[in-house]
Copies of this chain bind each other. A is one copy, B any other.
């Protein structure tokens, strides 16, 4: 599906020294795109590309005529700090930008002197959402999560009959999606205890969900399905996504129409969109047994079987208020791999549009919680604490069944493969504030 070229060459280094550190998320082989400005400034939001611990200010580079004309032209329409028009231009515009920046940032590039003034240290910036997200859809592709959560409710029959046929998804809330660094109040609402009358108050079972988000590049016309063979050409790239969830609100409200207030108070995504081109070396075979059951034809293709998955290691880290005050760093709670999802990105796109639903540039598709198959690989506290029964012990002596006020949850991810430079996603961080006093 994707071509490997000189931009993936593991021997290519950058004149930005920090990009050559072995543990950086942003070597010259990554070049993810986001929207930023100098922190606390009144600058207009602008597109930028991460390189090591720096950002290339794309508007500064364009205004200094350091971008090829076609690349500069492809950024027209992003003046309001939203990448939607660039995203709508699809793979060619992304590939031109990638090649131009890889060439300009590589060691020995004649553009080093001219481009250096266009760099801004990441330590000095703040992010906005990279695009206007018109619609946000959340899928449920993590079969280990679906099974674990199903077991809490239906021990004998955890997976519903449609799970292995239908890439289950539902619509989420766009207005409350924030970028890494988002802080939100603990949600308040109805919960149902043993009594006849529901209780009302702050959620006591607040949770995170470890997800991957796919952003749509070019969309489709209403009534025109996207065939699976071309589904990935409609994707721009991936981010990390935390689908914060209030389990007690969810249990009481979700029948028969699905989660609502349990989810729509906040959703956090990471700021840098890792493009489909950057992910090319890390594609892997669709791991599930394709005979169990054979997917319907609109969800099946040779390419999807061969390399529909993404070998992407995912991690959840937690820093409590006490840890922060004691100067302790975040602590890792678990790790899983996006490769283990039951449905692929291409299947999500093909399914979403098969009925004629139109996808738009900038739309966000969540993967659903990505739990691993093993013990302790749950992508939520609901799983790690077995429904709140078994507290998770932290190394400073604290325990958690669900999130406490002041907790910061960080999602992290990286792709690694022998013969290629490792690439990462940066942090997707969010912090729980106390509930609003009424």
Q: Tell me the chain A residues, 346-366 only, with Cβ under 8 Å from chain B.
A: 351-352, 354-360, 363
Top 8 nearest A-B pairs (CB, nearest first) are: A258-B258, A187-B355, A171-B171, A170-B257, A185-B223, A261-B355, A257-B258, A264-B357
Q: Tell me the chain A residues, 257-273 only, with Cβ under 8 Å from chain B.
A: 257-261, 264-266
Query: What are 29 A-B contacts defined by CB distance under 8 Å?
Result: A134-B174, A135-B175, A138-B257, A140-B257, A160-B255, A162-B192, A162-B252, A162-B255, A165-B198, A169-B257, A170-B170, A171-B171, A171-B173, A175-B359, A175-B360, A176-B357, A184-B222, A185-B356, A188-B354, A188-B356, A197-B293, A200-B297, A223-B433, A249-B355, A254-B256, A254-B257, A257-B259, A261-B351, A261-B354
The answer, yes or no, to whether A83 is at the interface (CB within 8 Å) is no
Task: Report the nearest B residue to A161, measured CB to CB.
Answer: B192
Are B184 and A266 closer than 8 Å at their CB atoms?
A: no
Mask: chain A, 323-361; 1 = CB below 8 Å from B; 0 = not: 000000000000000000000000000011011111110
Q: Tell me the chain A residues, 150-201 only, with Cβ under 8 Å from chain B.
A: 160-162, 165-166, 168-176, 184-185, 187-190, 192, 197-198, 200
* Docked complex Cα distance between A438 and B350 (Å): 13
A162-B253, A184-B222 are known contacts. Are A173 and B259 too (CB-CB below 8 A)? no
* Docked complex Cα distance between A173 and B135 (Å): 7
Would you give the shortest CB distance from A198 to chain B, in whole angstroms?
5
Are B356 and A187 closer than 8 Å at their CB atoms?
A: yes
* Docked complex Cα distance between A229 and B258 (Å): 28
Task: Report the nearest B residue to A223, measured CB to CB.
Answer: B185
A175-B363, A363-B175 are known contacts. Are A436 and B356 too (CB-CB below 8 A)? yes
The answer, yes or no, to whether A228 is at the interface (CB within 8 Å) is no
The answer, yes or no, to whether A225 is at the interface (CB within 8 Å) is yes
Are A354 and B189 closer than 8 Å at their CB atoms?
A: yes
Would you give the shortest CB distance from A174 to chain B, in whole angstroms?
5
Mask: chain A, 75-112; 1 = CB below 8 Å from B; 0 = not: 00000000000000000000000000000000000000
Contact residues in B for A170 (Cβ distance below 8 Å): 170-171, 257-260
Number of A interface residues at 8 Å Cβ cutoff, please give it: 66
Contact residues in B for A356 (Cβ distance below 8 Å): 184-185, 187-188, 265-266, 436
The secondary structure that dominates the A interface is loop
Copies in the complex: 2
The answer, yes or no, to whether A224 is at the interface (CB within 8 Å) is yes
Instruction: Determine which of B200, B223, B261 lies in contact with A357 in the assembled complex, contact meaning CB atoms within 8 Å.
Output: B261
Centre residue among A166, A174, A260 by max chain B CB count within 10 A:
A260
Instruction: Determine which of B134, B166, B172, B254 lies in contact with A171 in the assembled complex, contact meaning CB atoms within 8 Å.
Output: B172
Would you give the shortest CB distance from A252 to chain B, in whole angstroms?
6
Are B355 and A264 closer than 8 Å at their CB atoms?
A: yes
The answer, yes or no, to whether A2 is at the interface (CB within 8 Å) is no
Task: Report the nearest B residue to A160, measured CB to CB.
Answer: B255
The answer, yes or no, to whether A131 is at the interface (CB within 8 Å) is no
Would you give the shortest CB distance from A294 to chain B, in whole angstroms?
8
Contact residues in B for A246 (Cβ distance below 8 Å): 355
The answer, yes or no, to whether A42 is at the interface (CB within 8 Å) is no
* Docked complex Cα distance between A140 and B187 (Å): 22
Are B190 and A166 closer than 8 Å at their CB atoms?
A: yes
* Docked complex Cα distance between A296 and B176 (Å): 25
Are B355 and A225 closer than 8 Å at their CB atoms?
A: no
The answer, yes or no, to whether A298 is at the interface (CB within 8 Å) is yes
